[in-house]
């Protein structure tokens, strides 16, 4: 399945923390800031264009110490959560 990021948020680095700040009507919704770990931030940084799940998993395997089974499960769980929150959509 392919995923693409929505343009309804800004991914910022604040004091070394990666955070998602939703944008609604050009105004930040500060009540809904979402803090990401390094893996989540990495995934979102690599799906600016439609990206296959397998490509994301391969990128994680190249950049993080993990095995394929764990990477696949983590990517699916994270992307499902991001789709449910509206930060990412299927392409």
Query: What is the reported pTM?
Result: 0.82
Three-state SS annotation for 33-89: CEEECHHHHHHHHCCCCCEEHHHHHHHHHHHCCCCHHHHHHHHHHHHHHHHHHCCEE
**CA–CA dist 46, 41 (Å, integer):** 9
In tens digits, the chain (91 residues) has pLDDT values of 898 888 878 888 888 889 988 776 655 555 677 899 999 999 998 887 768 999 999 999 999 999 999 999 999 999 999 999 888 889 8
**CA–CA dist 54, 39 (Å, integer):** 15
Backbone angles phi, psi at 65, to 5 degrees: -85, 95
Domains in the chain: boundaries: 2-90
- Classify 2-90 by CATH class: alpha beta
């Amino acid at each position: 399945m392919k995923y693409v990021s929505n343009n309804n948020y800004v991914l910022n680095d604040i004091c070394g923390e990666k955070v998602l700040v939703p944008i609604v009507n050009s105004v930040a919704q500060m009540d809904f800031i979402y803090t990401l770990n390094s893996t989540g931030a990495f995934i979102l940084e690599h799906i600016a264009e439609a990206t296959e799940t397998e490509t994301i998993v391969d990128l994680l395997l190249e950049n993080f110490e993990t095995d394929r089974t764990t990477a696949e499960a983590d990517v699916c769980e994270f992307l499902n959560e991001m789709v449910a929150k509206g930060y990412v959509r299927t392409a």
